[in-house]
Chain A
Amino acid sequence: MTSPASSGQALVPPGRPGHPAYRAGILTLCAIGVGTLASLAAIGLTEAVFWLNDILLIAPRARVQLDAQGYLVPVATVLVPVLGGLVVGLVLRHLSPVHRPLGPPDVIEAVQFERPLPPLRAGIASTLAAMVSLGAGASVGQYGPMVYLGAMLGGLVRRLRLGVPNLPAISVACGVAAAIATAFNAPIAGLVFAHEVVLRHYSTQSFAPTTVAAATGYVMANVVFERPALFLVRFDGVEHGHEFALFAALGILAAGLAILFMRLILLVSARAAQSRLPALLRPAAAGLALGLAALWLPDVLGIGKETLRFATIPGAFAPGELAVLVIAKLALTALCIGFGFAGGVFSPALLIGILFGALFWTAIDATALVATSGVAVYAICGMMALTSPVIGAPLTTILIVFELTRNYDITIAAMVAVVFSNLVAHRFFGRSLFDVQLARRGTDLSKGRDRARLSALPVSRFCAESPITGETGQDLEDVRARLDRSAWSEAFVTDPQGRFAGVLDRQAAGTTWDEALRAPARRFDETTSVLQAMQALRGFVGDAVPVIDSRNGVLIGVVSEAAVIEAYLDVSAALRREENAVL
């Protein structure tokens, strides 16, 4: 993992952008090209997972056809996730240079800090691992890997160096939009997801190509491959006004469950990293737990699209069953993800949420105090209310409901649940699981893009080119003479080993180094960011501040106050240019 501080590309000079027609042409081609590739890749991944689920006896439709073969199905239920886990462990260990699955947080980080994505090989290995994980029925989601796959294909554009400003970020967003548009058959949601989660701003320059890419994904999914809408629900509208209060309440409760879900994932991941179980075997261990649980609760296996449907049918589950399934799916998903299966959190969140929504309705219905419009709308409100805080994208979630169900009334109801859930979870947890994961890696996006970029930018990169320096081994008067001839009012002095010794002022009295030197008013080190520097410079009088290596005391360089302010202005200007770019 590269820490933000080691990045070398945070301040790409805008350079000389090409002619607007050239830029428009490149952006269009890029949107269509990346959109097509990402869309095909998403369809390919979906089909591969279906096929694996079928031959590995994860899909109920395959299982029931071999029901008469004695122990075959139960044995496969346990063995397939274990062996799948082993393969995932091997793939990540031997094929991936970063040794871990990649997902939306990596995409967000790359785009927000204008860095390249992790190496292509790591992306391919991660996708392969996700395919095996999903194919073997691990309780993980398919959309995270799809988002990464789309982003990875979009990321290839960066290598072409086409000279269009912001192009790398835009092409990654195009890949993400097309992948989501294809996977959910939801182009509007794909477009919004790319902006809400990945780009985090709405400039015309990025909006247009992302929309084209999402539309390309939609065309591939609908016109070329004729894939059906994923989750059609028949619902004739909310019958009672008071139900909107229930949707809001459901949203708030779902937020609590979402926070529990996300905390559990983080906790298990942290514990797994400390455990003595080698990383290679961790997915297999999670697979074993999953397989054993699935003998009793087959609904926990895989993506569970049958279970999603059942949750919208009243009475398909007994209330106790719903509660058990919510807990089991929550725990097993945290286990699978924490123990290194490759996959996302979106699909499991959908499943947990829909079961929770159905449970909520069952409880309301059992009290017989208020009239309701049936289980379907509550199930879907629960599904979206739980998912939205996990991915940190309320608008996307609302649009996904709309495009998945093609039902306006359900969308309005889900909207209410989603905003309340998002509000509560954002307040008590964070914007999304992705953002919190990034923050734990040292990249905090919670206070805005500008702050994140400023705090990712080390001040040591802005050292003055020729400050007056001296060394205690040299003659004091020589250094004084050099200082007098320069425009500087201070010289920065080290000992013969290069360790910082002190500041020598023009007016400093004294005839020995010890008498002449004073301690600096401010000092930075190699980790000091531009943001911290700006805050430290409040009330500072002087030319410059020494940057001193915190590990050995060596003077790295000297940063002038002006350089810090310039860096600050440059970052702000770059963001402003990006966010207001038209073409």
Chain B
Amino acid sequence: MRFSDAITRCAGLLAVLLVAVPAAVAQEPEALTVVTWGGAYEAAQKSAVFVPFTKATGIPVEVKRYSGAIGSLRKRAEAESWDVIDMLEADAITGCEDGLLRKLRHDEILGGLDRAVRRDFAPTRLRPCSLPQNVFATVMAYDDRAYPGLKPTRIEDFFDVEEFPGKRAIHRSPDVILEWALMAEGVPAAQVYDLLSTDRGLRLALRRLEALRGHIVWWEDAGAPARLLEKGEVAMASGYNGRFFAAAQDRGAPVSVIWDGRLIGTDVWAVPVTTDRPEAARAFLEFATRPEVMAGLAARIPYGPARKSAMEWIGLHPESGVPMRDHLPNAPQHGARMLVRDSVWYSHTEAIRERRFEAWLEKGGG
């Protein structure tokens, strides 16, 4: 650790103490409501972030769950007094533009905002209302029992029910599956969003999806795809790489991940405008975006830390002893074909994609 980093960190801790200690002394502190996604991810966050945060500051954390939809932010944030939300970057951009999220003072939270800090976060960006926390991949996985012989290896195989029969579990959303559909048509990753921006591109993607009609099991909860694979209800599934890892590592499920065509997304922290504890929320963000805290999360569930400086802290899984770096979405051995989600585009095209997707669904169900 560099000297200046140490100073920064001490100053940060001091700030946290200044906020937290008087509160702790005065009365039993009110819990900070942190909203996240449940399942293996939440469990990892609990041991890597929430518990250490409470230990360091005395502020207890109350966890609430949601399924990531921006609609729940509108409906539930105020009523349930949400303070900090774990969000997809695209949703945070929408929330920010719609005035649902607070503008963040990145320089205060990160103890200064110079080029070195920005570079540490690159290629993720410090956007007005959000602070990147980790990088995840949406990948395909398959049930090893379903394909004892020839195994699927490419995105194309996901759409090929003749060669690789069986149900597919897919997120009931136009996200990801449309990108994959175009990649399966041979479109290079760099052009996927350009093409999906045209009517023709959407049409082609949905045409490709048509090949799966009748073979789809839709999921909404992020934990579902791993469970469906485990129970043998589907043969292939789309889902987050960390969930599949957890199923295979912790429960010994026969689930294999295909990294080809993985979609890299950024997960961020954001604070709703309705929060009544902005100072505590800021203390939480300061804590949660420390490199060693990020690394602690990555050691428990293979989501890459948003800061490069966290990489060196990542070691073995605390329970299974698996070296975690190999399972991160950005590990080099996963192959070249991957696509980084364009969060701004995502946020601004949600309505049109949703409309086309719903129309396609209505045409004849899954």
CB distance from B208 to the nearest CB of A (A): 10
CB distance from B193 to the nearest CB of A (A): 6
Q: Is B72 an interface residue (CB 8 A)?
A: no
Q: Is A313 an interface residue (CB 8 A)?
A: yes
Residues in chain A near residue B187, CB distance under 8 A: 309, 313
Residue contacts A-B, CB under 8 angstroms, 8 given: A60-B198, A61-B197, A64-B197, A64-B198, A64-B348, A64-B352, A310-B204, A313-B185
CB distance from A158 to the nearest CB of B (A): 40
Question: Of A60, A228, A233, A310, which is within 8 A of B190 by CB?
Answer: A228
Residues in chain B near residue A63, CB distance under 8 A: 197
Q: A65-B349, A67-B352 are in contact. Are A313 and B186 (CB under 8 A)?
A: yes
Residues in chain B near residue A376, CB distance under 8 A: 186
Within 8 A of B (CB), among A88-112: none
> A65's closest neighbor in chain B, by CB?
B348
Q: Is B207 an interface residue (CB 8 A)?
A: yes
> B349's closest neighbor in chain A, by CB?
A64
Q: Is B153 an interface residue (CB 8 A)?
A: no
Within 8 A of A (CB), among B331-347: 344-345
Within 8 A of B (CB), among A37-82: 59-61, 63-68
Q: Is A11 an interface residue (CB 8 A)?
A: no
Q: Is A553 an interface residue (CB 8 A)?
A: no
Question: Of A68, A298, A316, which is within 8 A of B352 by CB?
Answer: A68
Residues in chain B near residue A306, CB distance under 8 A: 191, 194-195, 197-198, 200-201
Q: Is B351 an interface residue (CB 8 A)?
A: yes
Q: Is A234 an interface residue (CB 8 A)?
A: yes
Q: Is B188 an interface residue (CB 8 A)?
A: yes
**B204 A313 Cβ-Cβ under 8 A:** yes
Q: Is A312 an interface residue (CB 8 A)?
A: yes
**B186 A61 Cβ-Cβ under 8 A:** no
Contacts beyond the supplied A65-B345, A306-B201, A310-B198: 18 A-B pairs with Cβ under 8 Å: A59-B194, A59-B197, A60-B197, A60-B198, A61-B193, A61-B194, A61-B345, A64-B198, A65-B344, A67-B351, A68-B352, A228-B190, A306-B191, A306-B197, A306-B198, A313-B185, A313-B187, A316-B204
The digit string for B4-35, where 1 denotes a CB below 8 A from any CB of A, is 00000000000000000000000000000000
DSSP class of B's interface residues: helix, strand, loop or mixed?
helix
Residues in chain A near residue B204, CB distance under 8 A: 310, 313, 315-316
Count residues on chain B whose CB falls below 8 Å from chain A CBs. 21
**A310 B186 Cβ-Cβ under 8 A:** no
Docked Cα-Cα span, A305 to B348, in Å, equals 22
> A309's closest neighbor in chain B, by CB?
B191
Give A contacts to B, CB under 8 Å. 59-61, 63-68, 228, 232-234, 298, 305-306, 309-310, 312-313, 315-317, 376
**A315 B195 Cβ-Cβ under 8 A:** no
Residues in chain B near residue A234, CB distance under 8 A: 186
Docked Cα-Cα span, A376 to B190, in Å, equals 18
Give B contacts to A, CB under 8 Å. 185-188, 190-191, 193-195, 197-198, 200-201, 204, 207, 344-345, 348-349, 351-352
Residues in chain B near residue A309, CB distance under 8 A: 187, 191, 194-195
Residues in chain B near residue A228, CB distance under 8 A: 190
Residues in chain B near residue A298, CB distance under 8 A: 198
Docked Cα-Cα span, A313 to B182, in Å, equals 10
Question: Of A65, A310, A317, which is within 8 A of B195 by CB?
Answer: A310
**A315 B207 Cβ-Cβ under 8 A:** yes
Residues in chain A near residue B352, CB distance under 8 A: 64, 67-68
Docked Cα-Cα span, A313 to B344, in Å, equals 27
Docked Cα-Cα span, A305 to B185, in Å, equals 16
> A317's closest neighbor in chain B, by CB?
B200
> A312's closest neighbor in chain B, by CB?
B186
Residues in chain A near residue B344, CB distance under 8 A: 65
Q: A313-B185, A316-B200 are in contact. Are A305 and B345 (CB under 8 A)?
A: no
- Pick from A298, A309, A376 the residue with the most CB of B within 10 Å: A309
Docked Cα-Cα span, A64 to B207, in Å, equals 20
- Pick from A63, A313, A316 the residue with the most CB of B within 10 Å: A313
Residues in chain A near residue B191, CB distance under 8 A: 305-306, 309
CB distance from B170 to the nearest CB of A (A): 22
> A235's closest neighbor in chain B, by CB?
B186
Docked Cα-Cα span, A68 to B354, in Å, equals 13
> B191's closest neighbor in chain A, by CB?
A309
CB distance from B35 to the nearest CB of A (A): 27
> Which 9 A-B pairs give the minimum distances between C-beta atoms?
A65-B348, A60-B197, A64-B197, A61-B197, A60-B198, A234-B186, A232-B188, A313-B185, A61-B194
Docked Cα-Cα span, A64 to B188, in Å, equals 20
CB distance from B68 to the nearest CB of A (A): 21
Docked Cα-Cα span, A73 to B49, in Å, equals 46
Residues in chain A near residue B188, CB distance under 8 A: 232
Docked Cα-Cα span, A232 to B198, in Å, equals 20
CB distance from A221 to the nearest CB of B (A): 15
> B204's closest neighbor in chain A, by CB?
A316
**A68 B193 Cβ-Cβ under 8 A:** no
CB distance from A210 to the nearest CB of B (A): 30
Docked Cα-Cα span, A309 to B190, in Å, equals 12
Docked Cα-Cα span, A306 to B188, in Å, equals 12
CB distance from B96 to the nearest CB of A (A): 15
Docked Cα-Cα span, A233 to B191, in Å, equals 12
Residues in chain A near residue B345, CB distance under 8 A: 61, 64-65
Residues in chain A near residue B194, CB distance under 8 A: 59-61, 305-306, 309
CB distance from B123 to the nearest CB of A (A): 13
Docked Cα-Cα span, A581 to B201, in Å, equals 53
Docked Cα-Cα span, A464 to B234, in Å, equals 96
> B198's closest neighbor in chain A, by CB?
A60
> B203's closest neighbor in chain A, by CB?
A316
Docked Cα-Cα span, A310 to B182, in Å, equals 10
Docked Cα-Cα span, A228 to B194, in Å, equals 15
CB distance from B243 to the nearest CB of A (A): 30
Docked Cα-Cα span, A376 to B188, in Å, equals 14
Docked Cα-Cα span, A60 to B191, in Å, equals 12
Docked Cα-Cα span, A234 to B204, in Å, equals 18
Docked Cα-Cα span, A234 to B183, in Å, equals 11
Residues in chain B near residue A61, CB distance under 8 A: 193-194, 197, 345
CB distance from A326 to the nearest CB of B (A): 16
CB distance from B248 to the nearest CB of A (A): 31
**B349 A310 Cβ-Cβ under 8 A:** no
Residues in chain A near residue B201, CB distance under 8 A: 306, 310
- Pick from B197, B344, B349 the residue with the most CB of A within 10 Å: B197
CB distance from B157 to the nearest CB of A (A): 15
Residues in chain B near residue A316, CB distance under 8 A: 200, 204
CB distance from A369 to the nearest CB of B (A): 26
> A66's closest neighbor in chain B, by CB?
B348
CB distance from A358 to the nearest CB of B (A): 13
